[in-house]
Structure 1
């Protein structure tokens, strides 16, 4: 049997509705798909590129993001994954409206509590070199974007007090981090465990992770930051090309190797645990549980 053409897919992940909306505005011919466990994505075309985008809104938190990213990778077999959204600045020269591209992401809560105090056990996950290079190239032609390439800190905390203990902890132990957010480490961990998946975290700065956070958010800074991050993401995907022969080479048989969970976006035919618009999953006696 002839394998269908498999379209190169990029998974674009967000946590908040306004982040999702900022990316969604760039995606055409959208169609909603539902995983058998209920997770929803919109798939569509990114004009001017070979990419099909699968866009998901995961909610907040690194653990949740990691679990759902793993599920989506296993389902959709993307070639790349980007987590796109807003973050708080940790540096004086990283301003509201700037974009931070994560050269690596720190999970800040790893460590050991001892009688002598808390001993930090840093965990750092690098972003994709190829995607980072595409981002560096893209922002050179974006005069309206001020971009920074630096580490990003991920913590299960909304930081709204620059003088707090957690703020001092981050400055002391992750001093080169330019921004703090809540999901990046979970996404990169899922991509890392997958093996060959390129992944990158792109964050627009919506506040300074201090007491002015609420006022900044109320001023519309979150929406602006999300739109800037989405614009950089789209520019990255215009620069970053799918792997050579993604539709008919070594990447193409991945669906067959994993039990036939391949996707033909052009024909609208989904093989594996995928539901159509009716919301009813086709029978798949060989499918596995996520």
Structure 2
């Protein structure tokens, strides 16, 4: 049984933490863009356009177009459909809810990934992980407070749908990353997404002052950089080490929400968020244990 070199692990953690900060900054700019009059369809289009231009520039200045050639275009199309759907729900949540609450709902991705792994991939899922799934959804109920006026339930629904979509992409990426590089994966996702988003943009496009165009461009640039860092981290270190770094995003969301939008998390979030985070970390830990046991069995 082999393990990743320490320098690769540190690089993976560093890249993942960088992606967390970049995504948190992107969420701020998304919210500002919407507040200044940009439509959701416009934000989505520029998010992918900026990423596509960034990736294409990297490819042209370095490895060349042959480096992103693929024999799995069908899989990339499926990834683009799932990823774009998840992104639309996630962006809707960002503009609807305070940043900390929107970020916390995104922490349910490992919970949905466990369910999908059990149902679709037929992965063995013991009572430990099912217990963590139940605890995680209990944390969601604490944060959302159904029936109260804590925040719009529409925002909670889109947040959970976005997390479900992201978990679906995670399952698919397990297959894609076996043969495709981070650059190839991000290139095809960004490029293929522009086809449907171009149609949407043609319908919802409107004139804006210069500062809004700048905000939209920044969404695309930061989003592309964040996606490269996130995908690259998975190529350097194991999921069980890399993914827990994502939970640090709550710190950035809280800080940016307070400094830029003047909002602070509710008392319910401080109770429910630790439950959701704990369930996600436990699921990742059990996944790590399962892989170690499987590797030991193969060696024996």
Give the structure with the larger strand fraction: 1
Q: TM-score, normalised by structure 1?
A: 0.26
Q: Work out which structure has the larger RCO, using CA pairs closer than 8 Å and 6 or more positions apart in sequence.
A: 2
Structure with the higher fraction of residues in helix conformation: 2
